[in-house]
Amino acid sequence: MDFDEIQKAWNNDKPENVIVPNNLEKIQSANTPLDKIKQNLKKEFYYQIISIIIIGIVPLIGDMPLKMIFFYYLLFSLFVAVCIYYLMKLSFFYKRLNNTTLTTKDSLYETYFDIRLNMELYKTFGFALTPFLVLYFLGFYYYTFYKISGFFDNEFSNGQLIGFFLVVVFTVLFMGISLEWWVHKFYGKFAKEIKKVIDELKEEE
């Protein structure tokens, strides 16, 4: 921004619209972590699509009974529907980031809060998939032990019920810890870098 533009803003009694070169450089320094977030988000789509394909072909690879295949794909269809909904949300977020130009404090604030909001959306996406993961693990548990003669012939024993309970608890804990780690590694630490720029700008006001 040159002197004439600064003078014009001053004459309009709107000094808050003036961005001095030093501040502009700081604002634009947030482009680096923003680019990292965009790159990771793009990779995320590939990871998700590959994961969906792998989960979809599991019954074709393994020796799964026909009766179980039907229920597997019934569950899988619901799983895919949830994935499509959230992936569309993340796709819109990615497009917004691509169209973002960090030239003002307002654009920096908006981008940061959009990132934070979509980090929470990503966590919600993960927790929305948790029931499917629990059912998949329970199905695997059943599939593994049903071959044992008499294992499921009678009512569930205490050992079997404890096994089911441990599967559910482990799956929920695993998803919670994994989501926190994944979001921090691929998005959270870069969001903190942008927040640091915002804090530095506040200190100079």
pLDDT tens, per residue, the chain with 205 residues? 444 544 454 345 444 444 445 566 777 777 788 889 999 998 988 889 999 999 888 888 767 777 778 888 888 999 999 999 999 998 999 999 888 877 777 888 888 999 999 999 999 998 888 888 888 877 776 766 665 555 555 566 677 678 778 878 888 888 889 999 999 999 999 899 888 888 887 766 5
Give the DSSP letter of residue 74.
H
The span from the CA of 135 to the CA of 129, in Å, is 10
Can you give the residue range of the structural domain that contains 114? 3-204
Cα–Cα nearest to 193, from 82, 45, 42, 35: 35
The predicted pLDDT at position 31 comes to: 78
The predicted pLDDT at position 203 comes to: 67
CB atoms within 10 A of CB 123: 16
CA angle 178, 180, 181 (to 5 degrees): 65
The predicted pLDDT at position 92 comes to: 92
CB contact set of 37 (below 8 Å; sequence gap of 6+): 97, 115, 186, 187, 190, 191
The span from the CA of 156 to the CA of 154, in Å, is 6
The predicted pLDDT at position 79 comes to: 92
Give the total number of structural domains in the chain.
1
* Separation of first and last alpha carbons in the chain: 18
The predicted pLDDT at position 6 comes to: 40
CB 37, CB 97: distance < 8 Å: yes
The span from the CA of 188 to the CA of 39, in Å, is 14
The span from the CA of 99 to the CA of 94, in Å, is 9
Is the CA virtual torsion 65, 69, 75, 80 positive or negative? positive
3-state percent helix, strand, coil for the chain, nearest multiple of 5 = 85, 0, 15
